[in-house]
Amino acid sequence: MEDFDFNQYYQNHEVDLSWLKKPSQHGFRWRCSNGSWRKSKRRVSSVESFRKAIANDNPSDIYFSTSSWLEPIDLPNLNDDSKPHPILLDHLIVFDIDFAPLSVQNLELARKTTLNLHKWIQNNYDYELISISFSGSKGFHLFYKDPDRSLFSIENSRDREYAVRDDRNKLLQEVILAGFKVDPRITADTRRIIRLPGSIHGKTGLLCHRITLDMLNETVESWIDDVPSIYANIEIPIKATQQPNKPKKQSKQSIKQKTNTSRTTDVEHSYMVEVSNHLPGTKDRTALIFWTPFSWGISEACLQRLEDLVNVENLVNSYIFSDGQRILFICPEAFTRAKIVKLLVKIGMEKLSKTLDKRQHYWVRISGIMNDDGIWSSEPKFISMIKGKNPRQNYSKAHLTLLSKLGVDIDISQLGEFVGNAEPSIRMIVRD
């Protein structure tokens, strides 16, 4: 790809800025064919100004910021206190849906997920759909505008940006807990960039371009052959197990150099959603949530062990999920922290007990785990309920809400008293 003249391509073909209200308020970045990154040092307000911005480079992949700014050029870092905080004018609500590796089969899965996510957004939010993109590779991008402008009227620019980030993070958590496999790095990040429609995807050679909702309703197979490409002979495999026909072979030497470079520079990350066991709105109340140790397995012996725990400790109805290797146990009862500290020691979870005693709460994963390639794994799926003996205990309102978000239907009219606030404390986490 390094030999391809991308610059010349963009002098003869137009990127799509028509749907952005004010392109000049967005930042633009690109990765050059030699692997280096560049930022636009000038405002991009039109195709002509875009062409001038990239004139000295050969950009293989082009991106723009999901946020718009009063001054989009050379933004200071989020935590840079040495400069005035930039003024956030708007932030598009963006979802990136990918299913790797690239194949027609996986693209069809991504298309259905994107379509179902859009329907879910329509049913739950008042966001305005402004664009849909085929990414040029493994999936799709959804772009929405939030008609509620209250967060953007916050006077303090730092408080404004953090308020928007918090709001988007809550939305992201809802989407993931509703079962949609989206890239968790995109939606909540006000400093995120995403591929520009009308630009070439540097790895596949396919055009990232906007599609209509009608196209999203049609099978990928019905239109994928019509996607423009800088290659004349690109072929996307039908199934994920097939290898795509690559138009240009790399030498063994170049592959070896690339692999060695990747090993020394790339750091793999994992992305997941976690919940706190603390009851929001209380001082020291906690629910009992934990993943069983790997040594317990997921056999009948493990399930019997958890059933004995519920019976011996006289717990309320408890709920178990499995990711194929371990069991996630959730008991939505409102306990004192001291009681759970002792109980965790009793069942052999001393480390978790020490964390709860020292930090007064702990975090537990409640979603699948996504890697840097957008591939999800270890998703906890609901197995069953372990019936408790005492339904009239105090319940954590927040963790009943959590179970509802995880798809468990609970008749709360049959329960006892409720403790704490309704919304659980949830966070998105990135781990190396």
Pairing assessment for the beta strands 418-419 and 395-396 based on DSSP bridges:
parallel
Q: Which helix H or strand E contains 351, and what residues bound it?
A: helix 350-359
pLDDT for residue 248: 44
The pLDDT of residue 2 is: 55
At residue 256, the pLDDT reads 44
Q: How confident is the chain (432 residues) per 10-residue block, as mean pLDDT? A: 84 96 97 94 96 95 98 92 95 96 94 97 97 97 97 97 95 92 94 97 95 97 91 82 48 44 59 95 96 93 95 95 96 96 96 96 95 87 91 89 92 85 92 82
Cis? peptide before 101, omega within 30° of 0: yes
Write down the domain spans for the chain: 6-265, 272-431
32 in Cβ contact with 22 (< 8 Å):
no
The fold of 6-265 is DNA primase, PRIM domain (3.90.920)
**What is the pLDDT, as a whole number, of residue 30?**
97
The pLDDT assigned to 267 comes to 65
Which pLDDT belongs to residue 262? Answer: 43
Count how many residues are written for the chain.
432
pLDDT at 258: 42
Question: Which token pair is 74?
Answer: 């050379």
* Residue type for position 286: T
pLDDT at 374: 79
Number of neighbouring beta carbons within 10 Å of residue 119: 10
Going by C-alpha positions, the residue among 59, 50, 55 that lies closest to residue 23 is 50
d(CA 31, CA 63): 9
Interhelix angle 157-177/104-124, rounded to 10 degrees, is: 110
